Amino acid sequence: MKKKVLFVINTMGRAGAERCLLHLLKAWQDDSYELSLFSVLGRGELFDEVPSHVRILNQTPEKTTVFDKKARKGIMKDLLKGMWKKKILLREIFSMLGLLFWQVKEKKVDVKKLCWKPASDTAQGVEEAFDLAVGYLQGAATYYVMDHVKAAKKVVFLHNDYGASGYCPKRDWLYYEKADKIFCVSNFIAEGLKEIFPDCRGKIEIFYNFADALWVKERAKEGDLGTDGIPMDMKREPGTILLLTAARLEPAKAFDVAIQAMAILKQKNVNACWYVLGDGSLRRELEREIRKQKVEDRFFLLGAKENPYPYMAACDIYVQETYFEGFCTSITEAVILGRKVVASCCGSNREQLAFYGTGMITELNPGAIAEGIERALREEQPKVDLMERQKEELERLKREAWT
């Protein structure tokens, strides 16, 4: 008899954890399991990429972005409607205010975090029972699995540094305490979580993010490419160095630092162009910073791309400047494609590149990032085969449905 496994995630927008989940689902092709997927918000462009052997439980998934201003307004409107319809509006508003006061006190204000619990409580119901339910992301997915899913076993994933992410331990303790296992995508994240929830130490394990290496390499050959194999919206002039970052345009990703680093490279006559794939709330602010630093001819915001892999394959150096990170999907994909990597020195980036045995770590400031890029141009970085490591991780998760 097949084991029934449900994966729950906050959205299916174009972001790192969502891509990791798709990689995992694509690789999990085993007739011993029946896989299902549910998105709490029921939105995101990546619904179209869910493999055919996975059931989508959302009745009417919206295959649109979740990151632009219009999408955020639509999500808030749906949340208010849902809370009113379920007669929980006052309860949820008081809960959100309590969390907001805590965030202000801790100087960790993040409006998205305020919405995850009401999103979980107003989401479409899932009636059937499962052998294993996986809350694949912190926040709404974790709340939904623990509160609203019937399953013999429940495990949750943590993709970010919990202490730096604006979540409230007093609230989340109730959820992590009930989980059968807590998978953290790096040792750095796991150790931080153990300090915050010491009673959960025995159930916290490491599960490095998954990437389907063969699929990434195949997708890198697709798209609107020039005769030189480079995407048409990346200009390649003789001797030009192509830099790339793929990330949401949000404060944690430190794009202001990247723009200033590009200005330093330009002043030093380094012939480079820096391309960014991703959308987010900071786009207009970053466009102003690009003009301020006079790098309009060197720093380009290309928006989110359905297929980012031709851009990764074309770049000379993949750069991940970030204040905090989980186990960065884009770094993994860049390593799969044999690109040089420069990353800022937050704990998980350091651990990830040490695990792969490649890449370069720098301090997070414009001068250090610029210097790291120049060093990467001069120095070779080892190429790594990740396929065997990925297979071992997948088998570990499969076993959870049987124990």
Helix runs in 86-186, H state only: 89-106, 111-122, 140-148, 169-176
pLDDT in tens, 364-373: 999 999 999 9
The 10s digit of each residue's pLDDT in 308-361 is 999 999 999 999 998 877 788 899 999 999 999 999 988 788 888 888 888 999
Q: Is the pLDDT of residue 388 over 70?
A: no
Radius of gyration of the chain, Cα coordinates, nearest whole angstrom:
21
Closest CA to 66 of 84, 78, 49: 78
111-122 helix and 89-106 helix, angle to the nearest 10 degrees? 150
Q: What is the rounded average pLDDT of the residues 85-92?
A: 75
* pLDDT more than 90, % of the chain: 52
Which residues contact residue 47 at a Cβ distance below 8 angstroms, ignoring those fewer than 6 apart?
Answer: 12, 39, 56, 58, 61, 63
CATH class entry, domain 3-211+390-400: alpha beta
Q: How confident is the model at residue 32 (pLDDT cuts 50, 70, 90)?
A: very high
Reply yes or no on whether the pLDDT at 399 is more than 70: yes
**Residue 291: predicted pLDDT:** 97
Q: What is the pLDDT of residues 189-233, one digit of tens each?
A: 999 999 999 999 999 999 988 888 888 899 999 878 877 778 888
Phi, psi (degrees; rounded to nearest 5) at 261: -65, -40
Q: What is the pTM of this model?
A: 0.76
Look at residues 169, 273, 277, 176 and name the one whose alpha carbon lies nearest to residue 223: 277
| Assigned token pair, 82 | 């849902």
pLDDT of residue 313: 94
Whether 3-211+390-400 shares its CATH topology with 213-378 is answered: yes
- At residue 289's C-alpha, the angle toward residues 287 and 295, to 5°, is 85
Q: How far apart are CA 263 and CA 132, in angstroms?
A: 50
347/292: higher pLDDT: 292
Domain boundaries, the chain: 3-211+390-400, 213-378
Share of the chain above pLDDT 70, in %: 96
The pLDDT assigned to 105 comes to 74
Residue pLDDT, tens place only, 99-149: 677 677 767 777 777 778 888 888 898 999 999 999 999 999 999 999 999
Contacts of 98 by beta carbon, 8 Å cutoff, 6+ apart: none
Best CATH choice for the domain 213-378 from the list 3.40.50.2000, 1.10.40.30, 3.40.430.10, 3.40.50.1220: 3.40.50.2000
Q: Is the pLDDT of residue 67 over 70?
A: no
pLDDT of residue 106: 66
